[in-house]
Structure 1
Amino acid sequence: MPRSVRIASVNVNGIRAAARNGMAAWVEAAQPDIITLQEVRAELEHLEAALPGWRVVADASLQKGRAGVAIASREECSISRVELGDDGLESNGRWIEADFEFGDETLTVVSAYVFTGEAETPAKQDPKWAFLDAMERRLPELSADGGLALVTGDLNVGHRPLDIKNWRGNVAKAGFLARERAYFDRFLTPEGEPVTGQEGLGRGKVAELSDTRAFSEGATGLGWVDIGRAAAGEVDGPYSWWSMRGKAFDNDSGWRIDYHLASPALAPRASGYRVDRAPSYDTRWSDHSPVVADYTVG
């Protein structure tokens, strides 16, 4: 019998701080079946203390107090995996997959935390390129033969100008670089179709930096679907992250960098997508808001 499974994803900006500041109230109100978490900055014992009664699988960063991803669920997953790419890839605490059995179907859920990067600093940007390369290889494997898969998390890339309030000021910065956005062009172009890329967003050097077509030539789409954009349509946002500085939250000057990316077979089963934005700055328990959607499986 098919059932609806509610999946939420959120960068908690430290699970212990989130638990102290009101995360439990949100969990009670939202009633998710599966929660994917990023930047937990903690060990498994801290996650289990913050989410009593939940089944939790996690991968901690090798750097104590940094990154860390987890998947919490009402029901036990059948298996979890943390490998992404080869041994040289820095993916510890940034990628975890869990398989869930619903009737005769298997749903793979991923919690991912992509590097922030820094455009002019290869030591910080190169690991991001390598991670996105590994994602580009892994997505077709997850969706092969009609696989039901959902990649969620803080992917640290605003795909289009609609995804960043102040996109003009960020065309040469990590998070909105043309090459970064070109990966998403490929992820989200219908399977097998040529990737055309996005038009330049400015003039002169800015346009050159902003035109993703140069990075998409000859590529074909992977067919994955951005559930948030599909639900919202061609509108600004809805944003999922706002700086803690200034009036960014009050002015809704944010970034949409937290995603539900669904495999081609899963995407038509999505409904009810929303961003659970806090009602006010002082009621936030993270600088990110949870993104939530329901999926029919089984």
Structure 2
Amino acid sequence: MRLVSWNVNGLRAVAKKGFDQIFAEFDADVFALQETKLQEGQIQLELPDHCDYWSYAERKGYSGTAVFSKREPLQVLHALGVDELDTEGRVVACEFPEFWFVDVYTPNAQDKLARIDHRMAWDDAFRAFCLNLQEGRVPQGGQATLPKPVVMCGDFNVAHHEIDLKNPSSNRGNAGFSDEERGKFTELLDAGFTDTFRLLHPDEVGAYSWWSYRFNARKNNAGWRIDYFLVSDQLASQVSAARIHADVFGSDHCPVSLELNV
């Protein structure tokens, strides 16, 4: 099974840059997007043989997530179940027979960590959400289910270790590389989840998924790895490939992918 995730930083813009062709070439069983930046009815995509599921932010032109799947999920959730965190369309969770698939666009802590308290609340609530799904506890509005593993993907807005960004020393303490954010990501992994890229590529350097538009960052590969596929530890042995597709353009992020033997 091939799974793909991509922060498109504005789907309407990427649609003009060959999104349909990129989508077709991946031929993913499930394709997740973050930062779609649109509302219902603002785009028409021709993606045959895929069902589509969208979460929209209340604020227009902001945030947003979407999942396209060759199979119809058993059910789809669009919120964590925490009112103050569920206004920005940051999650789409699809239940399949084998696992829960969770697409997430984690809030940015912003300059000088201005939104760090909101970010910490999100990280705690998201971790609890995924653990609850894994145990078969579905938020209000969803249908009860048996326990099953979780596959989560998206823009987590954090580089976990120094190997995950080009310039760790100068970025220490900044949004995306603060001790607080890195600590919460560690808590997520310690709760029973595996970073699939590092599982298969533990020592690979220069593997990044986001580059600033400034200073020729992408040309110089001065990037950050902030887009991930994580799986419940019980699925780790079924991971056959985890890749970063830095050759795919159209956004300041590139797609990441996972192949699972399920």
TM-score using structure 2 length: 0.90
For residue 140 of structure 1, report the CA deviation from its aligned partner.
Answer: 2.0
Structure 1 residues 80-130: Cα deviation after superposition (integer angstroms, max 9, x where no partner): 0022142222453101101123xxxx32111100111125354x2222111
Q: Distance in 2 between matches of 1:230 and 1:91?
A: 34
CA–CA distance in 1 between the matches of 2:57 and 2:120?
19
Counterpart of 1:37 in structure 2 is 33
Could you say what secondary structure the match of 2:67 adopts? strand
Specify the alignment match of 1:142 in structure 2: 133
> How do 1:268-287 residues align onto structure 2 when only pairs under 5 Å count?
268-278=237-247, 284-287=249-252
What does residue 139 of structure 2 align with?
none
Residues 113 and 175, structure 2, Cα contact 8 Å, conserved in 1: no
Instruction: For 2:211 and 2:9, locate their aligned partners in 1 and report how far apart those are by CA, in whole Å.
Output: 12
How far is the alpha carbon of 1:139 from its aligned partner?
A: 2.8
Partner of residue 109, structure 1 = 101
Gaps of 5+ in 2: 137-146
Structure 1 residue 53, shift from structure 2 partner: 4.4
Provide the residue aligned with 2:19 in structure 1.
23
CA distance in structure 1 between the partners assigned to 2:223 and 2:46 by the alignment: 27
What are the superposed Cα offsets for residues 32-85 of structure 1, whole Å, 9 maximum, x if unpaired?
110010000123444552535421011100110000001111121121002214
Contact preservation (8 Å) 1:38, 1:70:
yes
2:225 corresponds in structure 1 to 256
Task: State the alpha-carbon separation in 2 of the partners of residues 109 and 45 from structure 1.
Answer: 24
Contact 1:71 1:111 in 2 (8 A): yes
Identify the residue that residue 112 of structure 2 maps to in structure 1: 120
Q: Is contact 1:132-1:183 (8 Å) kept?
A: yes
Q: Alignment partner of 1:41: what SS?
A: coil
Segments of structure 1 that go 5 or more residues without pairing to the other structure are 189-220
Give the conservation status (yes or no) of the 8 Å contact 1:83–1:95.
yes
Cα deviation per residue 1:178-227 (whole Å; 9 max; x = unaligned)?
01111121222xxxxxxxxxxxxxxxxxxxxxxxxxxxxxxxx3120000
Measured in 1, the distance between the counterparts of 2:23 and 2:58 equals 28
**Contact 1:153 1:260 (C-alpha < 8 Å) held by counterparts:** yes
Counterpart residue number, 2:144 = none
Match of 1:173 in 2: 174
Name the SS for the 2:135 alignment partner: helix
Offset, 1:237: 4.1
| Helix, strand or coil at the partner of 1:28 | helix
Contact 1:7 1:294 in 2 (8 A): yes
RMSD over aligned Cα, in angstroms?
1.8
**Matching residue of 1:195:** none
Secondary structure at 2:230 match in 1: strand
| Partner Cα separation in structure 1 for residue 222 and residue 206 of structure 2 | 10
- Output aligned runs, 1:240-255, within 5 Å: 240-255=209-224
Match of 1:60 among 29, 45, 56: 56
The Cα shift of 1:144 comes to: 2.8
Question: Does the Cα contact within 8 Å between 1:119 and 1:174 map onto a contact in 2?
Answer: yes
Q: What TM-score, normalized by structure 1, do the two folds share?
A: 0.79
Distance 1:248 1:50, change over 3 A: farther
Number of equivalenced pairs = 252
